[in-house]
Chains A and B, each alone.
Chain A
Amino acid sequence: MKIVVKLDELMIKRKLRLNELASRIDLTEANLSILKTGKARAIRFSTLEALCKELDCQPGDILEYREE
């Protein structure tokens, strides 16, 4: 099983750059990059909330469960 982060798809749709989104949700670029590339082990509710607010989406739009 795998949780996939679909942040890059959302960013392309919204035409947002990594540094721009990072500054808007008050997160470092390095941490956002960890999340975007799927290296993150966990995500805080506060980060998820900020992302949903900024990208105007639901948590399910950002995260997806895929069976391997």
Chain B
Amino acid sequence: MNRLQSYARVIKFLFLFVYMPLVLITGIIKWAYMYIMPLRETTLPLSHICTNLLAGAIDGFSLVLLSVIAYYCARLLDQYKAGETFSIQVLNLYTKINRLVLLWALYNPIKNTALELLKTIHNPAGNRIIAFSFTSQDMYHILIVGLLLILSSIMQAACELKEEHDLTV
């Protein structure tokens, strides 16, 4: 077993049993507390229930994206554990993770804007708020996407080199 394989084994363990449960379970609890618990109030008008469900769906989508990214990361670590470092499957996984992280990074500011609007949509006219914010955390996410793009292009070059090396007799 080489160093990458043993690192992959440890990282996958931490990823699956520490990091992802923390992120997903706290996310799901927060989501349920914010969007499902208020529905227990029977006095809520239908429009408020619909708004709450819509906000829940918008907020929940980023959690779904995060779960799919986690699934692909786990598959990537599986490939590394199996000793596949520069294969076409690894490259495909990098591309998928990259696209999803980009979608997630771009979706977050849009989600915050939509949630801000939905939160105040039932206020009287003049008190409704729509605000678009692009925080330093969003910039950080875009930076991660950029780094992943560089990494995936390096992986592509490495895969091409490996293929050439394999076909050199």
Contacts and interface: CB of A to CB of B under 8 A. Distances in A.
A38 to B, nearest CB: 11
Interface in A25-57: 27, 31-32, 34-35, 39-44, 47
Contacts, number: 23
B125 interface: no
A27 B168 CA distance: 12
Q: Which of A31, A40, A41, A44 has the most CB of B within 10 A?
A: A41
A32 B169 CA distance: 7
Nearest to B167: A41
A35 B163 CA distance: 14
Contacts of A34: 167, 169
Given A34-B167, A41-B164, A42-B164, 19 more contacts: A27-B169, A31-B169, A32-B169, A34-B169, A39-B167, A40-B167, A40-B168, A40-B169, A41-B163, A41-B167, A41-B168, A42-B167, A42-B168, A42-B169, A43-B168, A43-B169, A44-B168, A44-B169, A47-B169
Interface of A: 27, 31-32, 34-35, 39-44, 47
